[in-house]
């Protein structure tokens, strides 16, 4: 068994809406091991996106601890958290979120601008990432000229180009037709199996969740059940 | 530098909007350069006025003459190095009144008093020996195509010659240059003794005196001493520093500096709103993208710097174009066809322009950059 990559202990997340407190996550514990592909399922409002944001370092828990790759991220400053994200997290969004004015390769290069790599090294990394997602021939295209599936592939290339510790995907097939969605799931699965990338994927789609090695269900801010593939 | 492509790519979003914003900045800075040149033209004498020079004129007005006998009396006052007379001629050249200033002076003393008018030594000697001799500034000599040796006829308006008719003829013996760019090279100076001998009336009278003093720190005392000396006489004097005299002369047309500053303030305030609105809109439109950048790992400070850099770039492109075009327009020449003695875009104003460009970029980018910096990535990602 591989070592734990992610350890979430007794995490709570409480939002304030006026005088009312809304508990989104309650005493949540979770361990994800290196190389796992985890699907996070659950109804809307169950807290899965909040958990994903906490794992990504985009949000902080109200209490509890989050340790990823040996580092406690719940106590990092905003600046340190941003730098940590740049090093450790690759984010795949539901609506791709590519910068429309940049070509596919420039979009993929974006996270590399935060590293100390030279221009030629950045180009090499971008070419590799685009090759992995099968889009080398569309490198110069802007998002507007790419299909939804292609745009999501560019999004995945952007997520993996820095070789992150963890890939987080928020409904990556939610905006795609079944065929394109399957292509994306194939790609995520290949990244997990062939490149041993740990992936946490939020999805509503049971068909998509079947691709994961482990499926977690969330209800009312807690993990309710777990299924191994 | 690696962020340059990212910053530049944002200009592709709304090319027309970016172009119009830049254009408005260009227009503002062309206007800035032009108004700076106009203000300089009107205050030109003030900035080059010698600290050791005073002007003595009639207390009532500049057109009232003073007795020539005052010269010797003024020179006796403690602290005065030299006094030399000058008279306004006000003639018409080629049917054009006020084509250029014609002033009768005493060559030797005048050249000593005004070393900023650079006359080649040999030509200066000729002037001293030629009673009908006159010297002209390079600007008007070139404007009218005069060469040394030319005879220049000027029609008198009030100082008619004894010889009959209206025409005075001068022999051009020298062309002077300015020591600096700000020096007026549109003057035409001829000999006072030639004027005295040949005018119908006014013998023994002069327009004003140029006084050279030994110590500028004593100016105030000498001014009082001169005016006191001629107090209660038929021709009382008003003495002032050359700077104050030239400033007063320029302000006869109104406070040009205040007028230009008022116009520029209005223009820049408008541009501030235009460019500021463009930047605010540019940031509002891409809140989601800024959220993505933060999710990827861009820090708040990096996002702030990028928005600010974008705003500075717009300002610098517009400002650089505007200042260059303004400089070219000013270099093309005085729009009045010669009424302004000096028409230049001074280096000092160019520097002020560069500072204004930077300020415009910072001020217009500050608020949207601050908003972008404070943006919460999770909230921003929710916005489509």
CA distance A1 to chain B (A): 30
Angle, vertex CA A134, rays to CA A133 and CA A135, nearest 5: 95
Contacts of A116 (CB under 8 A, 6+ apart): none
When CB atoms are compared, the residue of A93, A101, A114 closest to B9 is A101
When CB atoms are compared, the residue of A59, A85, A110 closest to B378 is A59
Burial label for B74, CB within 10 Å (0-12, 13-18, 19+), is buried
Tell me if the domain spanning A35-60+78-228 has CATH number 3.40.50.300: yes
Beta strands B66-67 and A20-33: pairing type?
A: unpaired
Report the residue of A54, A79, A82 to disrupt the B interface, i.e. the one with the largest count of B CBs within 10 Å. A82
Given a cut of 60, whether residue B101 has pLDDT beyond it is yes
The ipTM assigned to this model is: 0.91
pLDDT of residue B253: 64
Residue B50 banded pLDDT, cuts 50, 70, 90: low
Angle, vertex CA A210, rays to CA A205 and CA A215, nearest 5: 90
Beta strands B187-191 and B101-105: pairing type?
A: parallel
Kindly state the average pLDDT of the residues B271-300.
Answer: 91
Burial label for B371, CB within 10 Å (0-12, 13-18, 19+), is middle
Please say whether the beta carbons of A10 and A179 come within 8 A: no
Given a cut of 90, whether residue B244 has pLDDT beyond it is no
Low-confidence ranges of chain A (pLDDT < 70): 1-2, 226-229
pLDDT of residue A143: 95
Average pLDDT along chain B: 89
Please say whether the beta carbons of B98 and B188 come within 8 A: no
When CB atoms are compared, the residue of A78, A100, A110 closest to B296 is A110
**Which residues in chain A touch residue B298, judged by CB atoms under 8 angstroms apart?**
82, 86, 114
Residue B296 banded pLDDT, cuts 50, 70, 90: very high
CA distances from A176 to A144, A147, A202, A215 (A): 15, 10, 15, 21
* Least confident range of A146-150, B107-111, B329-333, B362-366: B329-333
pLDDT of residue A8: 95
Backbone angles phi and psi of B180, in degrees to 5: -125, 170
What is the number of other CB atoms lying within 10 angstroms of the CB of residue B4? 10
Chain B contact residues (CB < 8 Å to A): 2-3, 5-6, 9-10, 12-13, 288-289, 292-302, 377-378, 381, 384
Enter the DSSP assignment of B64: S
Kindly state the average pLDDT of the residues B157-183.
Answer: 89
When CB atoms are compared, the residue of B3, B12, B295 closest to A56 is B295
Give me the torsion for CA of B357, B359, B363, B365, rounded to 10°: 50
Q: If we measure between CA atoms, which residue out of A27, A25, A30 comes closest to residue A13?
A: A25
* pTM reported for the whole predicted model: 0.71
Contacts of A65 (CB under 8 A, 6+ apart): A7, A8, A9, A10, A11, A72, A74
Contacts of B236 (CB under 8 A, 6+ apart): B58, B59, B60, B227, B230
**Which residues in chain A touch residue B301, judged by CB atoms under 8 angstroms apart?**
79
Listed ranges B10-24, B113-127, B251-265; the one with the highest mean pLDDT = B113-127
Given a cut of 70, whether residue B336 has pLDDT beyond it is no
Q: Residue ranges of the domains in chain A?
A: 35-60+78-228
| Tokens read off for B372 | 């972008």
Given a cut of 60, whether residue B47 has pLDDT beyond it is no
Chain A contact residues (CB < 8 Å to B): 53, 56, 58-59, 78-79, 82-87, 89, 91, 93, 95, 97, 99-102, 106, 110-111, 113-114, 119, 158
Give percent of chain B above pLDDT 90.
59
Please say whether the beta carbons of A25 and A47 come within 8 A: yes
pLDDT of residue B62: 80
Given a cut of 60, whether residue B45 has pLDDT beyond it is no
Residue B239 banded pLDDT, cuts 50, 70, 90: very high
Kindly state the average pLDDT of the residues B96-107.
Answer: 86
**Which residues in chain A touch residue B6, judged by CB atoms under 8 angstroms apart?**
102, 106, 110, 113
CA distance B10 to chain A (A): 7
């Amino acid at each position: 068994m591989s070592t734990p990559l992610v350890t979430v202990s007794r995490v709570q997340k409480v939002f304030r809406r006026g005088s009312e407190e809304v508990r989104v996550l309650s005493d949540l514990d979770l361990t994800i091991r290196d190389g796992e592909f985890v699907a996070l399922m659950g109804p809307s409002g169950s807290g899965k996106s909040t958990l994903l944001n906490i794992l990504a370092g985009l949000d902080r828990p109200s209490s509890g601890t989050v340790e990823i790759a040996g580092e406690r991220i719940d106590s990092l400053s905003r600046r340190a958290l941003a730098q940590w994200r740049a090093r450790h997290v690759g984010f795949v969004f539901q609506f791709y979120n590519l910068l429309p004015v940049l070509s596919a390769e420039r979009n993929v290069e974006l996270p590399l601008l935060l590293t100390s790599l030279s221009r030629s090294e950045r180009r090499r990394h971008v070419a590799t990432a685009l090759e992995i997602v099968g889009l080398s021939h569309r490198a110069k295209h802007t998002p507007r000229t790419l299909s939804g599936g292609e745009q999501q592939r560019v999004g995945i290339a952007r997520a993996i180009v820095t070789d992150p510790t963890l890939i987080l995907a928020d409904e990556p097939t939610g905006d795609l037709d079944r065929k394109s969605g399957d292509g994306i799931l194939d790609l995520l699965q290949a990244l997990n199996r062939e490149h041993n990338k740990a992936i946490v994927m939020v999805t509503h789609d049971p068909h998509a969740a079947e691709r994961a090695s482990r499926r977690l269900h969330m209800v009312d801010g807690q993990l309710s059940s777990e299924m191994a593939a | 530098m690696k962020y340059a492509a990212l910053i530049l790519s944002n200009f592709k979003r709304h090319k027309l909007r970016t172009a119009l914003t830049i254009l408005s900045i260009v227009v503002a800075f062309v206007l800035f350069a032009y108004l700076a040149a106009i203000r300089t033209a009107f205050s030109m004498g003030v900035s080059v006025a010698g600290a050791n020079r005073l002007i003595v004129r009639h207390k009532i007005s500049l057109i009232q003459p003073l007795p020539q006998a005052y010269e010797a009396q003024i020179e006796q006052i403690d602290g005065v190095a030299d006094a030399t007379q000058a008279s306004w001629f006000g003639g018409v050249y080629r049917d054009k009144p006020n084509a250029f200033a014609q002033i009768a002076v005493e060559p030797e003393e005048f050249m000593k008093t005004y070393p900023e008018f650079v006359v080649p030594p040999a030509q200066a000697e000729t002037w001293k020996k030629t009673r009908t001799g006159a010297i002209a500034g390079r600007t008007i000599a070139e404007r009218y195509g005069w060469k040394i040796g030319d005879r220049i006829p000027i029609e008198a308006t009030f100082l008619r010659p004894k010889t009959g008719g209206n025409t005075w003829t001068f022999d051009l013996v020298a062309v002077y240059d300015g020591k600096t760019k700000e020096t007026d090279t549109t003057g035409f100076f001829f000999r006072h003794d030639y004027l005295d001998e040949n005018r119908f009336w006014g013998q023994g009278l002069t327009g004003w005196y140029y006084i050279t003093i030994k110590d500028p720190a004593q100016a105030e005392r000498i001014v009082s001493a001169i005016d006191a000396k001629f107090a209660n006489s038929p021709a009382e004097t008003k003495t002032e520093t050359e700077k104050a005299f030239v400033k007063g002369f320029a302000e006869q047309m109104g406070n040009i500096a205040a007028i230009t500053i008022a116009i520029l303030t209005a223009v820049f305030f408008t541009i501030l709103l235009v460019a500021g609105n463009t930047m605010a809109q540019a940031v509002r439109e891409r809140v989601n993208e800024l959220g993505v950048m933060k999710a990827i790992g861009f820090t708040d400070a990096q996002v702030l710097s990028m928005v600010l850099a974008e705003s500075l770039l717009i300002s610098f492109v517009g400002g650089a174009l505007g200042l260059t075009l303004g400089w070219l327009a000013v270099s093309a020449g005085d729009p009045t066809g010669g009424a302004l003695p000096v028409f230049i875009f001074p280096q000092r104003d160019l520097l002020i322009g560069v500072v204004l460009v930077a300020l415009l970029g910072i001020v217009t980018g500050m608020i949207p950059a601050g908003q972008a910096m404070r943006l919460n990535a999770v909230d921003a990602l929710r916005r489509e």
